[in-house]
Chain A
Amino acid sequence: MLIQFEQVTKRYGAVVALNNLSVSVPPGAIGLLGPNGSGKTTLIRSMLGLTRVDHGTGQVLGLDFQTRRLDIRRLVGFVPEDECLFPRVVGVEFVSYAGELVGMSTKDALQRSHEVLDYVGLGEARYRKVETYSTGMKQRLKIASAIIHDPKLLILDEPTNGMDPAGREEILVLARDLSRNKGMSLLFSSHLLPDVEAVCEYVVVLGGGKLLTDGKIQHLKQLHKQCYDVRLKTDPGLFVEKLTALGCTAEPWEDALRIQVPEGKSQRLLWEIAAEQGLQIRHLRPQRSTLEEVFLKAVEQD
């Protein structure tokens, strides 16, 4: 397991940041979802040993997160959410310094910093002062400094916050490439569900410091076999009436209808009614939950 927490509790005074949290996460690209104050940042800090938990046990990359904090940080790359920089350096010095702090030799760190800066697309800005970088460049710089020692796990805390669409897309492509093609596990914490969906195959949803749901995105976004999204060419009034008479439910959904057919019936029923009434079906597909629905459902259940 990449991360395994057992009944972990962390309180900040009266605020319970992690509430008896138990979660097991497999290697791969993991999305960490949750509303503000759900405990995402505390979970990340606990994993890195930056915060001491009040109760519970756990492991990160097979190491006890309470006693092997420094060892875990050697194996992990962390890209914090906030804008943070080592001041008064150029890009290559920034990344190289990050490598030295992890324990790389000066020579290795310098050589490797050139490689990772090329990889994240900052090769041409490597000798510019980091204070002059744009938001997107700073974010890529932080990613470069987090992967300089080739970590087994890369933690990205809200990596696309405040970025323009092009910069956001670059970060997503970069994260996807690292997890899918370079074999690096990823913990991608974000409020932006499309971003998580674009990068991750597994999600953990937190709320109130508890685990609300977790699993593979494909499994969570299950097919609803008796439920269909249907769009007709003309007014669906008669179509809906007929369906209702046959025990179906039909509700408007975006520019289409969401139709639930009774047990034992299939989509064939829809085709038959449309044929009877001479209506043209333009769109018909089984309903599949979006990640947003999964998220909202989990939060509402909490």
Chain B
Amino acid sequence: MPIFDQGYQHWNGQLSGHAWRWLAITRHGVRIGMKGKVLRLFLLLSLMPALGLVSAVSVWGLVERNASLVEPIVQFLVSIGLLNPAVAADPRHYRVEIWTLCYTLFLSMELTLSMILILLAGPELISQDLRFNALPLYLSRPLRRIDYLVGKLGVIATFLGLVMIVPCLSAYVLGLLFSLDLTILRDTFRLLLASIAYGLVIIVSAGTLILALSSLSRNSRYVALFWLGVWIISNVVSGVVQSTDHVQRRQARYQQAMVTKPDTPPRPPGRGRGGFPGMGRQAVVRNEFENEDLEAAKTNWRPLLSYTSNLSRVGRQLLGTDAAWKTLGELEPAGGRGRFIAQSLDSQYPWYWSAGVLAGLFGLSACILSLSVRSLDRLR
């Protein structure tokens, strides 16, 4: 059929305002992303931890009500040492701590899954537009560069929000419903806000980072490799540096102990430091080293080399995870308290170091994006 057999009709519809124009880009990006079978399957997989969170918070609601339905579960958890008997005896008193740890565990799992989700959904976002030279098509329409970038970030935000923020909200509502106690709102509303804030930190940080990487190459496979580098290699490097430092310090500590005379009395017992009557020499040294390790963690910068450790550190600060562990640690016997807290807490350096690293990465990403996603104000 030759062209023009179908007539051209004028269109008199209304065009929407400018404020939500970026949403069209997000909607389109999500639609394109959801065409991929692997991404769809992985999204489902990423929702699995959410079931765990919802279950845990709901069960705790029943525990607080002393429901007979969950009594065997509580007894089982106490018997295997996962739940302190003191907590089981007064669940309402430890509500904030338990909720905090449930949310922390969920978000730490989702942090790893979100890295994979970004690997699947992120690399093509800008690189394909560069490859197919789509920028003139965007920028010649009533869009600014910031609309374009916010629209692309919205794609990441949609996928990550679906597996991080939506489950946090759902779990909260279900926990509230199962406990039938409005004081939950008073006790845990801060946690809800903190979990949403943490989700947003991950979305903004990882989202801008993957967009920046995506704008560096027209080949999305290279972008995926860059992302793996940022995520896995930074983790590996940080792990190796930390292990090396730990081993060196331990060796130095034990060597120092060996040159000390065997009849040197152990240091007197004290608050978190020193040994206890009846302890062997080795145990004393080990105990002292653990305390020193805990002290050294406060100035240990090596975890900063890992991208996910930085996110995790900020998350722990927002959620109040360390405070929750410390509260639960107080319930442990005095001999094992230090070790319990040391094992429970990760790196102890100031959280704002990590916040600084993330802010730096954000600034770098913004610079890269501003250089790569250029306007058309240039000579070809």
Tell whether, in the assembled complex, residue B8 and residue A119 are in contact, meaning their CB atoms are under 8 Å apart.
yes
Closest to B23 in A: A100
Q: Please indicate the chain B residues that have their CB under 8 angstroms from the CB of A131 in the complex.
A: 132
A174 at the A/B interface (Cβ < 8 Å)? yes
Contact of B15 among A74, A80, A177 (CB under 8 A): A74
Tell whether, in the assembled complex, residue B15 and residue A102 are in contact, meaning their CB atoms are under 8 Å apart.
yes
Interface 0/1 of A1-45, CB less than 8 Å to B: 000000000001001010000000000000000000000010001
A85 at the A/B interface (Cβ < 8 Å)? yes
Q: Which of A66-86 contact B (CB under 8 A)?
A: 70-71, 73-74, 78, 80, 82-86
Q: Please indicate the chain A residues that have their CB under 8 angstroms from the CB of B24 in the complex.
A: 97, 100-101
CA distance A116 to B15 in the complex (A): 17
Tell whether, in the assembled complex, residue A84 and residue B137 are in contact, meaning their CB atoms are under 8 Å apart.
yes
CA distance A182 to B27 in the complex (A): 32
Tell whether, in the assembled complex, residue B376 and residue A50 are in contact, meaning their CB atoms are under 8 Å apart.
yes
Tell whether, in the assembled complex, residue A84 and residue B134 are in contact, meaning their CB atoms are under 8 Å apart.
yes
Contact of A121 among B2, B12, B378, B379 (CB under 8 A): B2
B102: min CB distance to chain A, Å? 39
Q: Which of B7-27 contact A (CB under 8 A)?
A: 7-13, 15-18, 21, 24-25, 27
Tell whether, in the assembled complex, residue A87 and residue B129 are in contact, meaning their CB atoms are under 8 Å apart.
yes
A145 at the A/B interface (Cβ < 8 Å)? yes
B190 at the A/B interface (Cβ < 8 Å)? no
CA distance A41 to B132 in the complex (A): 20
A135: min CB distance to chain B, Å? 14
> How many A-B contacts at CB < 8 Å in the complex?
133
- Interface bracket on A: 35 or more
Tell whether, in the assembled complex, residue A102 and residue B132 are in contact, meaning their CB atoms are under 8 Å apart.
no
CA distance A73 to B2 in the complex (A): 31
Closest to B148 in A: A101
A239: min CB distance to chain B, Å? 48
Number of B positions contacting A (CB below 8 A): 46
Tell whether, in the assembled complex, residue A87 and residue B141 are in contact, meaning their CB atoms are under 8 Å apart.
no
CA distance A142 to B136 in the complex (A): 11
B239: min CB distance to chain A, Å? 37
Contact of B142 among A52, A70, A177 (CB under 8 A): A70
CA distance A185 to B28 in the complex (A): 30
B375 at the A/B interface (Cβ < 8 Å)? yes
Contact of A102 among B6, B17, B142 (CB under 8 A): B142
Q: Which of B83-141 contact A (CB under 8 A)?
A: 124, 128-129, 131-141
CA distance A74 to B16 in the complex (A): 10
Q: Please indicate the chain A residues that have their CB under 8 angstroms from the CB of B35 in the complex.
A: 88
Tell whether, in the assembled complex, residue A101 and residue B141 are in contact, meaning their CB atoms are under 8 Å apart.
yes
Contact of B27 among A100, A112, A115 (CB under 8 A): A100
B359: min CB distance to chain A, Å? 30
Contact of A80 with B140 at beta-carbon distance under 8 Å, contacts A87-B132, A149-B15 already known: yes
Tell whether, in the assembled complex, residue A170 and residue B140 are in contact, meaning their CB atoms are under 8 Å apart.
no
Contact of A103 among B3, B16, B135 (CB under 8 A): B16
CA distance A170 to B1 in the complex (A): 13
A248 at the A/B interface (Cβ < 8 Å)? no
Beyond A84-B135, A98-B141, A182-B10: 5 further Cβ-contacts under 8 Å?
A: A87-B124, A115-B9, A142-B137, A148-B11, A149-B15
9 intermolecular pairs with C-beta atoms under 8 Å apart: A50-B139, A84-B133, A100-B27, A103-B21, A103-B142, A121-B1, A142-B137, A145-B137, A149-B15
**Which 6 residue pairs are nearest across A and B when measured between Cβ atoms?**
A121-B3, A103-B15, A118-B6, A150-B11, A100-B24, A84-B133
Interface residues of A (CB under 8 A from B): 12, 15, 17, 41, 45, 48, 50-52, 70-71, 73-74, 78, 80, 82-89, 97-98, 100-106, 108, 112, 115-116, 118-121, 123, 131, 142, 145, 147-150, 170, 173-174, 177-178, 181-182
